Structure 1
């Protein structure tokens, strides 16, 4: 299999690269600048690095792809100043536009494109459950970003276009989990705000397997696919499970007003949530390796 990954140097992208290189696939990583040969690890020396400018000016370098995976976009985990909001929005629209242009430039475009999206598209709720048939609910900055992101993605011409609506990805090598674990390791873990807000999550191994599943399963139709465990938890339950697995106290609540004071509008990510169900993936036969939070955290503890 020959695959190009836009955003291949990020948390999920690195895990994809590691799996596919170990399996003998050809992997192109699209990045802003190529790492110097002497700075590359043994794994990275097996990757093909191309830049966004290469994608624009030399599309022939991407001929023969079996899939294009676009994970690129500026992180939401930064204070949402006006400049940051513009940067977050523009980064997503620009990278999607580059992917769309590539698809029209290729003599033989790949039959499937996996385009990153996010669970924020559903809005937030403590009572509702969302699957891929649920309507978009634009109610805050994150949901506006995802709406614009997916509308831009609709311009990508592909036989199958999968919009992967990603939940909180749990891994020990990056992403949000090390930051979530840190206060517990200091003995100061506890619920955030009311603790009733839902947290949809997925283990890093499962999202990597799900992306591959979406590529190789021709019966999986275009449209959204929720990248989330079938068993979401509340914020308080998440903390209590960390406490049980890592044998650390769960006692120090963080008041909502304090988070709003410190983080501003960014506090929405921690204080609000969605209960997401991966109906489409399961309906098409995907089996989660870590469907339960306790098992997922136990694996992360071992590694």
Structure 2
């Protein structure tokens, strides 16, 4: 199989690349710049958006395109920051669509990154892929606009909108920052602790992407979250249990808001999201429970 990954040098893209190369597949990574110290592999190639304008022949006959590119939400949401976040997502969708249009032999499926923020936040409700979008804050606005642009851009092709939760891995993403206070002996609730955390292990999101590509019956939104979401308090207590650290030192909401501004809303509010589409299609999670996921991450270090 031959795969194209836009944003393939990032947290999820790097793991996905390793997964596919180990299975004997060919992987082409597309980004704004070429990596400075890229590992060599005979079936791995790197391309920039600019270089593909002149020569896109190497991407012909790809089986799937995965678009993971876009500026991180984990930055202060100043007016310029918000603009950059929105524009980067729309720009990468547009660039990927133009790339597809230039190919004579197009891939049969596109996996487009999205996020569970599209459902809005709630302490009581449970969300699945059939739940409507609820624009109530900046993240939900970004994701709805992102998905609408994807629907417009990738027409006449099977499109999967991968709505990710908090992806847990050791090298990047949110987990190292969530774990650090516990390792320092100051772990505890963020705010009230009753807000939900929809999470997924890095291994499972990589497997889920591959599963969606291999199963033509899957299209539309797919929640990339584990089947057992937990509250912030339960998440913290599980970190404490696995890493043998106390859970006792709460971070008051007002301090978090002072430190990071509006970005604090991601941590202080949440949503209980279930992976109904993946489960209905027979996907089996390697790490369905948080304790098993964290024990695996601990064993890797």
Shared fold per TM-score greater than 0.5: yes
- The answer on 1:25 being equivalent to 2:25 is yes
Taking the TM superposition and a 5 Å limit, the aligned residue runs for 1:105-144 are: 105-144=102-141
Displacement, 1:204? Answer: 0.3
Take 2:246 and 2:156, find their aligned partners in 1: how far apart are those partners? 50
Displacement, 1:103? Answer: 1.8
Taking the TM superposition and a 5 Å limit, the aligned residue runs for 1:69-218 are: 69-155=66-152, 156-218=154-216
Name 1:219's counterpart in structure 2: 217
Name 2:295's counterpart in structure 1: 298
Take 1:249 and 1:147, find their aligned partners in 2: how far apart are those partners? 39
Displacement, 1:108? Answer: 1.2
1:61-107 deviation per Cα after TM superposition (whole angstroms, max 9, x unaligned): 32110000000000000001111111000000000001111222211
8 Å Cα contact 1:80-1:266 kept in structure 2: yes
Take 1:79 and 1:264, find their aligned partners in 2: how far apart are those partners? 7
Displacement, 1:158? Answer: 4.2
| Regions of 4+ moved over 2 Å | 39-43, 54-61
1:158-196 deviation per Cα after TM superposition (whole angstroms, max 9, x unaligned): 431000000000011211101110000000000000000
8 Å Cα contact 2:187-2:246 kept in structure 1: yes
Displacement, 1:46? Answer: 4.8
Displacement, 1:256? Answer: 0.5
TM-score (norm 1): 0.96
Take 2:35 and 2:158, find their aligned partners in 1: how far apart are those partners? 32
Take 1:32 and 1:272, find their aligned partners in 2: how far apart are those partners? 33
8 Å Cα contact 2:187-2:249 kept in structure 1: yes
1:132-161 deviation per Cα after TM superposition (whole angstroms, max 9, x unaligned): 000000000000100110011012124310
Number of residue pairs matched by the alignment? 299
Which stretches in structure 1 are left out of the alignment for 5+ residues?
none
Taking the TM superposition and a 5 Å limit, the aligned residue runs for 1:32-47 are: 32-36=32-36, 39-42=37-40, 46-47=43-44
Relative to structure 2, which stretch is displaced further, 110-119 or 170-179?
170-179
Which stretches in structure 2 are left out of the alignment for 5+ residues?
none
Take 2:40 and 2:203, find their aligned partners in 1: how far apart are those partners? 21
Let me know the Cα RMSD of the aligned residues: 1.1
Match of 1:238 among 235, 239, 246: 235
Q: Determine helix, strand or coil for the equivalent of 2:27.
A: strand
Name 1:279's counterpart in structure 2: 276
Take 1:113 and 1:144, find their aligned partners in 2: how far apart are those partners? 22
8 Å Cα contact 2:25-2:43 kept in structure 1: no
Take 1:49 and 1:158, find their aligned partners in 2: how far apart are those partners? 27
8 Å Cα contact 1:104-1:157 kept in structure 2: no
TM-score (norm 2): 0.97
Take 2:278 and 2:226, find their aligned partners in 1: how far apart are those partners? 10
Take 2:96 and 2:51, find their aligned partners in 1: how far apart are those partners? 12
8 Å Cα contact 1:203-1:290 kept in structure 2: yes
Name 1:251's counterpart in structure 2: 248
